[in-house]
Amino acid sequence: MTAHNTRKPRFIEMNQLVSFLVKDETLPYFEIGIFAPVHSENIGTLWRSAYQLGAAGIFIIGRNVRGQSSDTAKTRQQIPLRQYETWENFLAHRPLGARIVAVEFGGEPLAGFNHPQEAVYLLGSEANGLPAYIIEQCDHLVSIEAVRYLSYNVAVSGSLVLYHRQFIQAQPNTKSR
């Protein structure tokens, strides 16, 4: 019989967390979000993947969301979900220094993409993708290769991008931009 761990989880204040992150210059910062999401289940699934793959948070632009039935891991207690009313509101409040990486058709293949150290990944709506005016304002445009159909589910797309980021970041001799 093994002893049960009775330690209580340690919680820290947000300003303590920010101080820690600023001191540790080796820790990359990244978030991922969806522009005009249609299905709340995709938000919950992306939220869980983002947490599992080390994202600082997720965001949505153009839609208000409450709880997520697909968030069975209670990810909302681990990393934040930020909601922005408009693209302009997002731009005004995005993390300083973070490069915006659009994930959409017609971009650089993800397999060869060198992820920025600080990044905000932006996925398009399930129905319409990302509008051209938004893509033009992004720092990078990447596309996810496929064997058959060109379009993945939005939560799957985000999960693939974050997995690729973590895989590339973990490789020796590979540096972020």
Q: What are the tens digits of pLDDT across the range 38-84? A: 998 999 999 999 999 999 999 999 977 665 555 555 566 668 999 99
Place 14 in a pLDDT band, splitting at 50, 70 and 90: very low
Please state the separation of Cα 72 from the chain's center in Å.
19
Neighbouring C-alpha atoms within 13 Å toward the C-beta of 158: 35
CATH topology of domain 49-170: Alpha/beta knot (3.40.1280)
